[in-house]
């Protein structure tokens, strides 16, 4: 049987009352090197307490970015981290990580409102990067010898840091929409179990 495909119907006999799912939040994507994330981590490490003061509601911080309480925990094992770094060093497409740009001062003090500047998706990959940069994770070199970040020369560091890791962004104060977006991020790839979903 021959498959029939048409990008558009020849006539408008289709039923316009059949709505398909709509996006919850508009997303913009920028293609930045990993070096942007490394600089963000450097800035965070200079004064982590100041960052914690801005996001007192955060469950934790990954690469200096606040992670909301409704995000799943750190789940990746060493094998998953190793596969990610093989992809980075090989120049493979790393996909993207997603943050929320929305921010608003809280009622008092320096704190920002809940869900401001959060890491919505990409926590496992970014946490793996942080562990690597802080010498808590060794990655095999071309001969299979495990190497931590501080052992690499500047040429290899520059090659790694120049790898593109796309940054997707939304901007919303609507926690329900953010939770739904979070839940959709892994659908069809590694679906989150019910207890890992933000919307239950």
| 144-159 tens-digit pLDDT | 999 999 999 999 999 9
Query: Among 65, 60, 58, which Cα is nearest to 44's?
Result: 65
pLDDT value of position 189: 44
Domain ranges of the chain: 28-191
**Helical ranges in the chain per DSSP H:** 34-46, 48-54, 78-90, 123-133, 154-161, 175-185
Residues 6+ apart with CB under 8 A from 74: 123, 124, 127
Whole-number Å distance between alpha carbons of 61 and 41: 10
Whole-number Å distance between alpha carbons of 27 and 13: 32
pLDDT value of position 60: 96
Which tens digit of pLDDT belongs to each residue from 79-88? 999 999 999 9
Cβ proximity of 89 and 38 under 8 Å: no
**Residues of the chain with confidence (pLDDT) below 70:** 1, 12-14, 105-109, 186-200
Whole-number Å distance between alpha carbons of 21 and 166: 25
Query: Among 76, 77, 56, which Cα is nearest to 66's?
Result: 56
Which pTM does this prediction carry?
A: 0.84
């Amino acid at each position: 049987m021959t498959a029939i495909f048409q990008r558009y119907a020849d006539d408008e006999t289709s039923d316009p009352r059949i709505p398909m799912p709509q996006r919850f939040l508009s997303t913009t994507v920028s293609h930045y090197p990993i070096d942007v994330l490394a600089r963000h981590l450097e800035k965070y490490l200079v004064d982590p307490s100041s960052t914690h003061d801005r996001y007192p509601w955060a469950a934790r911080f990954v690469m200096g970015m606040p992670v909301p309480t409704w995000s799943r925990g750190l789940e990746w094992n060493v094998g998953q981290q190793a596969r990610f770094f093989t992809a980075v060093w090989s120049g493979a497409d790393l996909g993207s990580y997603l943050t929320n740009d929305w921010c608003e001062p809280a009622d008092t003090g320096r704190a920002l409102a809940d869900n401001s500047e959060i890491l919505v998706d990409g926590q496992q990959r970014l946490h793996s990067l942080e562990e690597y940069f802080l010498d808590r994770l060794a990655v095999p070199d071309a001969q299979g010898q495990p190497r931590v970040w501080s052992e690499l020369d500047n040429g290899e560091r520059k090659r790694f840091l120049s790898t593109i890791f796309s940054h997707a962004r939304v901007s919303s104060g609507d926690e329900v929409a953010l939770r739904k977006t979070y839940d959709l991020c892994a659908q069809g790839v590694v679906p989150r179990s019910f207890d890992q979903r933000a919307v239950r």
